[in-house]
Structure 1
């Protein structure tokens, strides 16, 4: 992943990391303010509905008691008792006596105009008749609520039960069970009050915050101005912004930390392993005496998403140090099985060499990894050669066990980069190897006046003494190839024969090599015939 992209992503995430907590803080402050204000108004509404219903029940109980006193209707004693109850009852404006459907007298005295009783607006319980918004004809007061039990009724001021619940900043409206407005404290638009009562739930609009509650059919609406909500929101906001700021700092710090980790070589390598960004190029291995291609070395390449390739020397040491070399090796085996399956089944004499890390040689894990990946492909074990560096063979005892098992399964095992590490003749004698590969650094000294130019023939002689076949790496010139042939080296690889190449190009290279080989053999047969 490009550094510029990681940096751009970090900046974007940091911006989001700042914006998101602050936005969440603002939202939380607003939500808390709204819920707090709605809760306050719902409490007022609940108390108003409950007190209204209770006032009806208390009045009805008083009227039942008056009915049970059996006083002479409209006598001085009767009127006096009604007057006493009216004075003592804080909510009662007037008490009347009904007989034969007509109002006969009230707590004010005998009526000169008798009023016919109308059907009630609704019933409360079994015997409580109720009317709302009734204008009293005798006292001339504001519209009242009328409650009747038996032959007595009472005119109640519907505002009295709720006038202690609110201040001028809260508008309270009581809607009766029949849907009519029974009382209004601090004037609210009637249509709005009825609409909110019908809606039946608390909320917020452009101008108000409101709470709605119902008790026994009585609905109370408590409405507060939005300015109160805004003031409360502002007082809450600074506290939430403080926490949001701390959260933003923490998130940005974590983003920066993760971004630095992603920009590190190890993190990039981990991402590459996870996304399987590794491909394999194949460098031909030829029989020096004939020029025939007998196989290839599988060389891993890191192909970034932008198409660029990372040289192995830039990531293989880090992969070995971090333990990522094992999943990379597995991806190499997968690629070989995928790329060359058909070719290797068609040409059994062709092999592919796979580099194996020290830990895989020590533990023997590589054998199961290969078996799991080529077991059903038709590729034979003898076509997969395992190649280990001298560093991977330091523990001779454990390495010997793995190599023996590998050879038992049919694999050939080679030691790579011989002479650049810690090798000795005793080292080679104690390992059951098949092939020795001479490092390119020694091949480069052939036919040159160099302190190490005499090392190559000694390595070749050592390999022959141990019955090891020899592969020369880094063969780049005709002179080097001729020297190696003269000294009995069997195989070579290097730019003189072919650079590491993608699978399709290697397959084409091998087919062309096979075609040339057949072309050389046919004339020879004709000559011999």
Structure 2
């Protein structure tokens, strides 16, 4: 009997253990999973906050660079006009002006304050490259506000520190921004204790707390760190909310619809944030598609094209370029293409003055002189002539004629030929061809495909060619894929072509090899002064 009771007791114990054990184990792993998810979520948010901080800082230094481009005496009308333009062009810049000998001199908002003795105290920090930083500088425009101020060479810009921590966040997690060289907490959001956030940064977010999680993100390019604080979740505490959700069909339906909407928005925001991250870390590649002179099949130049591979999957440029335009990332993307193009083709261009590369420029950079100034500065000391860097713009870029006309003229005055890309697919108009001075029309592939075919659009290519000849413009035919198309275009007086018939877009190294083969394939009479392909820097 005793043995039977023992066996029964053991069986009951084992049964209870088998029932309770998995429950207790699942609760343990559930809590660990919640903790891991919390940490992953807060780290992701911290990384997004760091992207914002890098963007704000980028604008500050870019704004200072723009101020330094304007020649002439401080506080001259031209310099004040340039400062006003900087305040307008850069979203996070609140004021911009000049200073000297520890005093404010002028700004578009202050006016001329030479005689008002507005003292500027010594900076809180000096960088090795000559930048002066005031972390909490009292603004002369306000009795209570303190700005982040950055200066160099007599120019300064003022930023609202809250721009570093003012992110859209339904959870309202406290954020702090820290200058890592000095350990200065220069921006905090509502609910953030500077001392607490500094301690979290000091310990890389590894702070023991039963109530809070901390995450730290550091910039790879600036001496900046971001600290985020978030309350810990509880699987037990959250369960009643989950159970309550099932009590009502209406609540379930509403939660489902809200979740679907949230997921959609999250994916979009996540893609834009990933693109911003990729641009800031130079993860996008630039490839080059040859442009061939039809008369002798010699490669006259190339078009620089941007490509992005994410998680070993190629992302269509039509997708990420559109997201870049919608997310105000198109200018950093264009800057990256320019930088990589000069780095990879600089020696080839310098060694071959007749060779060129064309770069696609967005409508945003055809409304201001920002990109022209950057291009001019980037070419200094490279040996590359302005005519070797050509500007391609789509038709819709020309819609705002008043804002664009002067910039287009400035590009051409600086020596950069202007191309209209994909001509005929957008807002085609003879009026803007007469209004703007341009150099080249590029016939879109969709019209090249219908050459000599009996279709409604087959008459477009001959019409464009005839119009270009009347206006004295050169022509590049895109998407050429057969000898028949090339011969037809040649007979119609089209000067240049690009497309798979000649070559696909390729890396700088592959371009060097292709140029060598192209030069060898042509007859000695047509080679003439061939391109020195061995000087490409990859």
TM-score normalised by length of structure 2: 0.50
Name the SS of the counterpart of 1:289 in structure 2.
coil
2:307 match: 301
Alignment CA distance shift 1:340-1:264 (3 Å) = same
**Where do 4+ consecutive residues of structure 1 move more than 6 Å?**
17-20, 240-244, 250-253, 256-259
Q: Which runs of 5+ in 2 are unaligned?
A: 1-30, 41-208, 214-229, 239-258, 529-538
Structure 1 position 410 matched with structure 2 position 415: yes
1:287 match: 293
Name the SS of the counterpart of 1:366 in structure 2.
helix
CA contact (8 A) 2:34 2:233 kept: no
Q: Which runs of 5+ in 1 are unaligned?
A: 1-10, 21-239, 524-529
Structure 1 position 500 matched with structure 2 position 520: no
Q: Could you tell me how far 1:460 is from its partner in structure 2?
A: 0.6
1:489 match: 494
Name the SS of the counterpart of 1:342 in structure 2.
helix
Question: Quick one: distance in 2 between partners of 1:13 and 1:326?
Answer: 40
Structure 1 position 313 matched with structure 2 position 333: no
2:345 match: 340
Could you report, residue by residue, the CA deviation over 1:311-348 in whole angstroms, capped at 9, with x for unpaired residues? Answer: 21121111111111110101100111111111111111
Q: Could you tell me how far 1:365 is from its partner in structure 2?
A: 1.8
Segment drifting more, 279-288 vs 256-265:
256-265
Structure 1 position 248 matched with structure 2 position 232: yes
Report which of the two structures shows the higher radius of gyration computed on alpha carbons: 1
Alignment CA distance shift 1:250-1:332 (3 Å) = farther
Alignment CA distance shift 1:250-1:421 (3 Å) = farther
Structure 1 position 426 matched with structure 2 position 410: no
**Superposition pairs of residues 208-287 of structure 1, within 5 angstroms:** 247-249=231-233, 260=266, 264-287=270-293
Could you report, residue by residue, the CA deviation over 1:339-368 in whole angstroms, capped at 9, with x for unpaired residues? Answer: 111111111111000000001011132211
Name the SS of the counterpart of 2:396 in structure 1.
helix
1:458 match: 463
Question: Quick one: distance in 1 between partners of 2:371 and 2:284?
Answer: 18
Question: Quick one: distance in 2 between partners of 1:343 and 1:454?
Answer: 39
CA contact (8 A) 2:35 2:233 kept: no
CA contact (8 A) 1:262 1:268 kept: no
CA contact (8 A) 1:339 1:503 kept: yes
Question: Quick one: distance in 2 between partners of 1:356 and 1:326?
Answer: 9
Of residues 364, 371, 374, the one that matches 2:369 is: 364
Structure 1 position 15 matched with structure 2 position 13: no
Question: Quick one: distance in 1 between partners of 2:437 and 2:33?
Answer: 56
Structure possessing the higher relative contact order (Cα contacts under 8 Å, 6 or more residues apart) = 1
Name the SS of the counterpart of 1:295 in structure 2.
strand
TM-score normalised by length of structure 1: 0.51
Alignment CA distance shift 1:420-1:13 (3 Å) = farther
